[in-house]
Amino acid sequence: MYWIDKKTLIISDLHLGKATHFTNSGIGVPKEANTNNYWRMTGVVDKYEVDRVIFLGDLFHSVYNKEWEKFKDYIANYESIEWILILGNHDILHPEHYKEAKLVVTNSLVESGFYFTHEPEHKEELYNICGHLHPAVKMKGNGLSTLRLPCFYFGTERAVLPAFGEFTGAMTIKPNKGDEIFVIAEKEVIRVS
């Protein structure tokens, strides 16, 4: 999600290192899972005028592995951008790793009436923007055909962003009346309700 007025890119649940973690545990995962995350992130960082990036948690999936060094090298190429990490349940690296990467690390962030967190939270009079749930909706087609697509979910109290990472999975949600849903279909974002 891109916040135009603040020149801020908001990314949730990248889960870098997850594919490497699985591979190191003897579970084969295509290497493209890591590479595609960087291609997509580069695409949006280069497309917009970005002064900062806010990661809504689960930036790195597990314990330290070689993928962290790749990420440090990646963000070093964008020295003019401020990188902020709101800690998620999978962000378990030693604080020194975040410091070396020059990440600003916090548990939450309040700005301009928004409350940024990893997991959904309630804070009086603030609109919560979070991740964690990896939302998706089931779309029905002709006959019995269905398709489940990741989505941006905007409810009355909060917005839940889809997982940005390629190797993450998704949770099917059931929107309430009046909620706004934007599905991600290939390279398009389409409003469906």
pLDDT in tens, 81-101: 999 999 999 999 999 999 999
What's the pLDDT score for residue 79?
94
| pLDDT at residue 121 tops 70 | yes
The secondary element (H helix, E strand) that includes residue 141 is none
Return the half-sphere exposure (C-beta side, CA atoms, 13 A cut-off) of residue 175.
23
- Round to whole Å and give the CA distance between 41 and 14: 9
| pLDDT at residue 24 tops 70 | no
User: Residues of the chain with pLDDT > 90: what percent?
Assistant: 74
**Threshold 0.85, pTM exceeds:** yes
Say if CB 172 and CB 138 are below 8 A apart: yes
Say if CB 26 and CB 58 are below 8 A apart: no
What's the pLDDT score for residue 186?
84
Beta-strand pair 104-106/82-86: parallel
What's the pLDDT score for residue 173?
94
What's the pLDDT score for residue 26?
73
Task: Quote the crossing angle between the two packed helices 66-76 and 32-47, to the nearest 10°.
Answer: 20
| pLDDT tens-digit map of 142-184 | 888 899 999 999 999 999 999 999 868 899 999 999 999 999 9
Segments in 10-144 forming alpha helices (H): 18-24, 32-47, 66-76, 95-100
DSSP output for 11-39: E----BTHHHHHHHTT----THHHHHHHH
